[in-house]
Amino acid sequence: MKKPKFQIPSGMHDILPESQSYFQKIYKVVKDIAGFYEFGKIDTPIVEQSQLFEKGTGLSTDIVKKQMYTFRTKGGDHLALRPEFTPGVVRSYIEHGMFNLPQPIKLWYFGPLFRYERSQAGRFRQFYQFGFEVLGEESPSVDAQVIQIFYNILKELKFKNLIIEINSIGDNQCRPYYKKSLSSYFRYREGQLCLDCRRRLRENPLRILDCKEEKCQRIISQAPQMIDYFCEGCKTHFKKVLEFLDEIEIPYHLNPLLVRGLDYYTKTVFEIFEDSNEGKNIGAIVGGGRYDALVKLLGGKDTPACGGAAGVERIVSAMKSRTRSVSHSAPKVFLAQLGDLAKRKSLKLFEDFRKEKIQVAESFGKDSLRTQLRKADKTGSAYTLIIGQKEALEGIIIIRDMKTGKQEIVKFEKVVREIKKRLKKISNL
């Protein structure tokens, strides 16, 4: 077979109709839970100033150093396709003066991100995330509630064996002492580290803890832990977060080496995995934490904040491994027609059903009644409405019960009301 002239760029992917049902299911669950917890939806631009991510995400992070898609406009602006949501949300919070509103501000989002990274299973260069951000509240109860929201969403999507890993990475009061200790520990073992971790040792030794290389993992497992360096404030905050999680019966594992890959995190950090074969392949489904210094760093007031985000493609992959497709409500009515006049009448009737929110299947491009009845069988429709040339002229329609084969004639203007009555009777059985 001749190779197509145009192909999708490396690392990108089409979301085909058979996958759309999963995306729609996830969106609906996220939207419903966001509404219950009183989060307002925000959409930020796909394109932002590059400096927003360089300053907000961190110059030493892999996202900024390796993965950002950047370009200059004709006017000379240096822009980037957004690689993550949080800096853009914070920019919007500052730019639109949301700090003048009653706090906290609770926002959620769902959309595409772009990162230039090595193509592999579960990782794409354009991918989707949804997330939740709470700005203007320092209480550890917020940390617990953000985790609870993601946990509830995954439970609603039928995830079972969820693992929540949690840690605290301190703040600017105690973390410098920890970083100094880490630097000393890794410096003596620099020759055993991968090339990336040798660079991280010079730029930010905390990033080494996030390395997945096996030879680095052996060294990391013996590294100093942040818990031994907490200031009193961070110790109290983390203790209360865990107490809240215990109270709402959210299971968690303490992971003293969890740091996340972004520079803006302070105090609580967490990731959520599924304990299954598929889960081991796709990695963390959700990640997030507290970022109390980011708003001020980007030009706003000193504002505590906490949030997290989930990878939609990873969730879809896990859902597909469990079931062949997301079930839809099958149309209960099929509209079959024969001839041009019947087609015109059917188009009008189709709209009448839509206005009444009754799902109807059709095959307006087919003229064979046998073909249309075969399709009606495949859709699982309870009733087929048949309109031929004779019926169209006389203003009548045939209702065929697909289970019994029994047929009945009704007037055209009464068919919607009659079908509504029959469908209601079926639903009450």
Greater model confidence, 393 or 290: 290
Q: Which residue has the tokens 């301190």?
A: 170
Supply the pLDDT for residue 297.
95
Q: Report how far residue 311's alpha carbon sits from residue 131's, in angstroms, rounded to the nearest whole number.
A: 9
How many residues belong to the chain? 429
Task: Report the distance separating Cα 296 and Cα 144, nearest Å.
Answer: 23
- Cis bond upstream, residue 104 (ω within 30): yes
Q: What is the pLDDT of residue 353?
A: 85
The answer for residues whose C-beta is within 8 angstroms of residue 67's C-beta and 6 or more apart is: 83, 115, 116, 117
- The 10s digit of each residue's pLDDT in 84-139 is 999 999 999 999 999 999 999 999 999 999 999 776 666 799 999 999 999 999 99
How is the chain split into domains, by residue range? 17-174+230-322, 333-422
Q: What percent of the chain has pLDDT over 90?
A: 51
The stretch 43-68 carries a mean pLDDT of 90
Q: What whole-number distance in Å separates Cα of residue 412 and Cα of residue 397?
A: 6
Phi, psi of 24 (to 5 degrees): -65, -40
Top-confidence residue, 141 or 391: 141
Is residue 271 a contact partner of residue 287, using CB atoms and an 8 Å limit? yes
Lowest mean pLDDT among 20-24, 278-282, 332-336: 278-282
From residue 50, give the alpha-carbon distance in Å to each of 65, 165, 309, 418. Answer: 12, 31, 21, 60
Query: What average pLDDT does this structure show over 312-325?
Result: 83
**Ranges of H-type helices in 135-276:** 140-156, 175-187, 195-203, 214-220, 232-247
* pLDDT for 326 beyond 60: no
Residue 389 has phi, psi (to 5 degrees) of: -60, -45
Q: How far is 196 from 214, CA to CA, in rounded Å?
A: 13
The mean per-residue pLDDT over the stretch 65-87 comes to 94
Q: CB of 400 within 8 A of CB of 377? A: no
CATH of domain 333-422: 3.40.50.800
DSSP H or E segment with residue 41: strand 40-41
The mean pLDDT value of the chain amounts to 89
Q: Long-range contact list for 31-36, CB < 8 A, 24+ apart?
A: 31/110, 33/149, 33/152, 33/153, 33/156, 34/108, 34/132
Q: Which residue carries 């690689």 as its tokens?
A: 83
Both ends of the chain: CA-CA distance in Å? 53
Residue 341 has pLDDT above 90, yes or no: no
CA 85 distance to own-chain centroid: 12
Is 70 exceeded by the pLDDT of residue 197? yes
- Most confident of the ranges 1-10, 114-123, 205-214, 298-307: 298-307
Domain 17-174+230-322, CATH: 3.30.930.10
Determine the pLDDT at residue 384: 87
Which pLDDT belongs to residue 241? 97
Average pLDDT over residues 390-406: 88
